[in-house]
Amino acid sequence: MGLLEDKVVLVNGGSQGVGAGIVRAAVREGATVVFTGRRAEVGEKLAADTGARFVRADLSDPAQARDSAVQAVDAHGRIDCLVNAAGLTSRGSLLDTTPELFDQHMAINLRAPFFAMQAVVADMTARKAPGTIVNIGSNCAHGGPPHLAAYSAAKAGLAGLTRNAAHAHRFDRIRINTLNIGWTDTEGEDATQRAFHGAGDDWREKAARSQPMGKLGQVDEIADFVVFLLSDRSGVVTGSVIDWDQNVFGGQD
C-alpha span between 52 and 49 (Å, rounded) = 8
Which of the following is catalytic: 151, 183, 225, 244? 151
How far is it, in rounded angstroms, from Cα 32 to Cα 186? 24
Q: Where are the alpha helices (DSSP H) in the chain?
A: 17-28, 40-50, 62-76, 99-106, 112-126, 149-168, 187-197, 203-209, 219-230
User: From the CB of residue 93, how many other CB atoms can be counted at a distance below 10 Å?
Assistant: 12
List strands edge to edge, sheet with 131-138: 53-56, 32-37, 8-12, 81-84, 131-138, 174-181, 241-244
DSSP 235: T
Return d(Cα 123, Cα 118) in angstroms, integer: 9
- Residue pair 75/53 in contact by the 8 Å Cβ criterion: yes
| Residue 59 and residue 19 in contact, taking contact as beta carbons nearer than 8 Å | no
151 flagged as catalytic: yes
Task: For residue 64, give Cα distances in angstroms to 39, 67, 161.
Answer: 14, 5, 20
Catalytic residues: 151
